[in-house]
Structure 1
């Protein structure tokens, strides 16, 4: 604020000096009268700037720049110009009729009056326009700084959310269940155990590689999730069914890593899965959205659920897309729609 006031003060000083020199050189106004007119200019400019600051603050409340830059600037210029004219006429009238300053009176009624008035109006209009443009430039600069700081903070938060998601999703329960299944397979079916171990290594390799990526292609995510489902099928068999219906043109669109893993794990965590009650998950693309649906057969008690999975996922996508994640229930079907980027 102090720096801003210094700049305004400097502008007033420069403007008064230029106008004083102009009067002396063009109209040959004597030093005493020129000094009086310079004082009048200082009073007029200072009062106008104070008025403009009040007007600016008032318009910030009723007509912010976001609501229409051109309309606001035109109104500000018009109102400030009218105020400046009225104030100038009032001070000149006071100087002539109240304080009886004859030099001002003779200057006003001299042969240069009409030309001087036109030059004065033009100068006032130019000054008002420069003042408005200056304030708008200052506003834009402040807004840019705020947005840059906000973007920086959001980027940090996004990175933190991504890191936490990637770090926490393949939780100890999944690893424990996978190792238990692997132990059984080694004894009962060594070839299948080898295939299981290969898929497990691909799953963890994908997660490790994705830590450095904000987005991956939908095709890449689908390749990963099929390995992940292969591991789950070893545990659940035909009780877990995952169906895909993805349009070819959507495969090049992007998604944040392990999104599908989070949603599938969420469905498994909250629903009963057995031969009599198979969990059916459908993954399909609709326009620029990826839709994940599953039938609802809720568990009475859900272990190790803090309810943060979908919340964190929604927060992450709020940084990546203008579209929000949509979550709904439709006739015993749980639906999550993810924007494709």
Structure 2
């Protein structure tokens, strides 16, 4: 949440508005404006105290109901706060006026001064708060608009990257070369390889318009994708999958696993003597892709290349950040698992109760 940038409002705006409000109150009640300096002084002082306390109500309401869709809850929270605290402070202040003799009255609780003193304070606070709320709504709208535009750019770039992957001549050439070798040596395995290659391209072609997909689909895809890698690299590469069954319904951006697998393949030595092992596992609503670290010298400085796109997507989806960890022996990327639609619906309904 952005901090309230209202220094001058607190220093000058509230005191000036308090003086204007007090003048209006005396004019409305047909009482001559007092010559006693203590009355405007204490009224301004009380207004500053009222606003500072009510300002906390604005801050708390924004923390509790920050979204544009929660505007009514936020406004009702603020209004209730204003009425309670402004009334308490002004009633206490009016009683204090009488105790120090700022006016003479035979009744201890004369309704009119208590009522109008409180009314002016609440109305003034609501008017100022309305300006604050308007600025806040505009800022939230602008932020949402900018994030939506940024997400469009990221999605377009992701689609472009996906298209590049689909028509990547190296990727296609390597797989066709592997297929050609299998046709002459093992026709049955060549048929299986062709099926997996078709599955990979079919999946790639389906991702143009989706921002999220079930983890189960990504796991099925990565198994087909890894089959191609295994056929190419043989005992130079291994994969381990340990994903909880209940996590399969969770959502992640499509092609996330492919991106992370490509990152591992591109930047590490792969050989039968030094095999690369890629592990996929889940822990505490996170999906981790981890590999043993044996960097190629030419790419050692760019081991995190290609991860920025995934990080940006999660940021724009307002989700926890992608985590990256590396040490001398391993490289690990953790991506948050987003709840499936059913869980989102349930959590929203529970939140609204």
**TM-score (ref. length: structure 1):** 0.68
Of 224, 246, 250 in structure 2, the residue corresponding to residue 227 of structure 1 is 224
Aligned-pair CA distance for 1:186: 4.4
Once superposed, what is the RMSD of the aligned Cα atoms?
Answer: 4.5
Q: For residues 204-223 of structure 1, what are the structure 2 equivalents within 5 Å? A: 204-223=201-220
Report the equivalent of 1:158: 151
Aligned-pair CA distance for 1:271: 0.3
- Contact in 2 for aligned 1:166/1:207 (Cα 8 Å): no
- Contact in 2 for aligned 1:321/1:339 (Cα 8 Å): no
State the alpha-carbon separation in 2 of the partners of residues 268 and 281 from structure 1: 9
Report the equivalent of 1:315: 312
State the alpha-carbon separation in 2 of the partners of residues 67 and 198 from structure 1: 52
Report the equivalent of 1:263: 260
Which stretch shifts more, 235-244 or 176-185?
176-185
Q: For residues 1-341 of structure 1, what are the structure 2 equivalents within 5 Å? A: 20=28, 34=30, 64=59, 77=86, 81=90, 118-169=111-162, 171=165, 172=168, 173-302=170-299, 307-330=304-327, 332-341=329-338
Aligned-pair CA distance for 1:335: 1.5
State the alpha-carbon separation in 1 of the partners of residues 309 and 173 from structure 2: 24
The alignment covers a number of residue pairs equal to 295
State the alpha-carbon separation in 2 of the partners of residues 283 and 178 from structure 1: 23
Q: Deviations over 1:291-340 (max 9, x none)?
A: 21111111011399695411221121123353222211255011111111
- The verdict on how the C-alpha distance between 1:268 and 1:181 changes in structure 2, with shifts beyond 3 A counting, is same
State the alpha-carbon separation in 1 of the partners of residues 303 and 278 from structure 2: 22
Q: Which runs of 5+ in 1 are unaligned?
A: 24-33, 94-107
Aligned-pair CA distance for 1:149: 2.4
Q: Which runs of 5+ in 2 are unaligned?
A: 1-12, 65-76, 339-353
**TM-score (ref. length: structure 2):** 0.66
- Contact in 1 for aligned 2:25/2:116 (Cα 8 Å): no
